Amino acid sequence: MPTTGRVLLIDLENVVGTLGKPAALRSKVVALVDAAGLHDHIVAAFAKRPPSSDAIAATLTALGVVPIPVEPGPDAAEEALIAHAVGMHARGCRHFTVCSCDGAFARLADSTDARLDVLVWQGQPIATRLRKVADTIRQVPRPGAGASASAAASGPAAAARNRTQSPPRPSSVLLATMLALFAGAVWVGIGVAVGQRPADVLLRRR
C-alpha cells in the first residue's frame, strides 16, 4: 500500500446501532462508504453476537469492507480499530477517516502524524476530545432522511402553498383576455343591432 494510503475505520455499533437487520446495516454502511469517497482500505469492527456475527461479516465482505469481529466488552470495537490503524500507520498509511463519535479515536491524532477525519451522521454528538483533534468533521444525512424531507415538502400543505403562490399561467391569461374581448364585441354588436331597428323604422316612415 502506498505511503499516502487512505484507511476508513467504521465503528459499527456507534454509527449503525442495532446490527440485527441486514438491510439497515447494508444501507448505512453503503451511505458512509459513498460519503467517505475513495479509500484504499476499509474495515469495520463490531462485537460478536452469535449467530448474527456470520451474517454481519458476510454483508460487510460483500460490500468490500473487511470485518473485524471482537469479543464484547467496553470499547472493544474502538480498541480493535485503533490497533488496526496503528498497524496500518506502521506500513505507511497517513490518512484515516473514522466513522465514530467516540473520543477514544483522538489517540490516533495524539500518537501519530497522520491526518484524522471524522465522518458521522447529522445530529450525532461527537466527543469533545475527538472534535478538538480532528482535521475535518463531516456529518451527513442518514439514509432515507432526504427522501423523508422531500416527501414532507411535497405533501398537501406544500401543494396548497404552491397553488396559492403560483402566478397564473400565460395561456390562462391569454384565454381570459380573449374571452373578455369576445364578450365586449358581442355586447357592442347587440347594442348596434338594437339601435339599428328604430333607425330603420324612422327611415321607412319618411
Domain CATH for 22: 3.40.50.1010
Q: What is the pLDDT of residue 28?
A: 96
SS3 41: strand
In a domain, 113, yes or no: yes
**pLDDT score for 145:** 63
The verdict on residue 62 lying in a domain is: yes
Q: Are 56 and 46 in contact (CB under 8 A)?
A: yes
173 within domain boundaries: no
Joined together, the cell numbers standing for residue 132 give 478538538
pLDDT at 19: 73
Sign for the CA dihedral angle at 41, 42, 46, 48 comes to negative
Residue 24 lies in a domain: yes
Query: What is the per-residue DSSP string for 158-186?
Result: HHHHHHHHSPPPHHHHHHHHHHHHHHHHH
- Within-domain flag for 186: no
| Nearest alpha-carbon partner for 96 in 136, 52, 65, 152 | 136
Query: Is residue 40 assigned to a domain?
Result: yes
Structural domain count, the chain: 1
Q: What is the pLDDT along the chain (206 residues), one digit of tens a residue?
A: 444 589 999 999 999 987 778 899 999 999 999 999 999 999 999 999 888 899 999 999 999 999 999 999 989 999 999 999 999 999 999 999 999 999 999 999 987 789 999 999 999 999 999 999 999 999 999 997 654 333 223 232 233 323 333 333 344 434 444 444 444 444 334 343 444 444 443 334 44
In a domain, 50, yes or no: yes
In a domain, 39, yes or no: yes
pTM of the predicted model over 0.75: no
Query: What is the domain extent for residue 57?
Result: 6-145
